[in-house]
Amino acid sequence: GAVVSQHPSRVICKSGTSVKIECRSLDFQATTMFWYRQFPKQSLMLMATSNEGSKATYEQGVEKDKFLINHASLTLSTLTVTSAHPEDSSFYICSANLGTGGTEAFFGQGTRLTVV
């Protein structure tokens, strides 16, 4: 199957700093990638849709100025958590779909963010 690589897998940062998470599609081009956040014992919540060459589409309640998304190429999307706070500590997962509609989503390995 297709491979989506996410980096880093784990990061600890100080409150007030920014953290960048990368999501790469290794063997296919992804015009669209998705960013999810998952709190303990909860399901994946879609944060935003990352579109190559255009602005990301954010879900309701997600602060676009706090969670900056850049999709500069067909194989790379980045999520930057700005001015991180302890409540931003979570498991962040990216995904990309092969094709359009009716195809499975391939997930990155996830990034465990801890803000201290």
Which chain residues interact with another protein by CB under 8 A? 1, 32, 34, 36, 42-46, 49, 91, 93, 95, 97, 100-105, 107-110, 112
Nearer to another protein, 70 or 110 (CB): 110
User: Distance between CA atoms of 36 and 43, rounded to whole angstroms?
Assistant: 10
Q: Is the Cβ of residue 49 or residue 82 nearer to another protein in the bound state?
A: 49
| Residues facing residue 1 across a β-bridge | none
Alpha carbons 71 and 53: distance in angstroms, whole number? 6
Nearer to another protein, 28 or 91 (CB): 91
| Nearest distance from C-beta of residue 113 to another protein, angstroms | 13
CB of 81 to another protein, least distance (A): 18
Report in angstroms how near the CB of residue 66 gets to another protein at its nearest. Answer: 20
Q: Return the residue matching tokens 């009716």.
A: 102
The H or E element that residue 52 is part of is none
Q: How far apart are CA 72 and CA 108, in angstroms?
A: 18
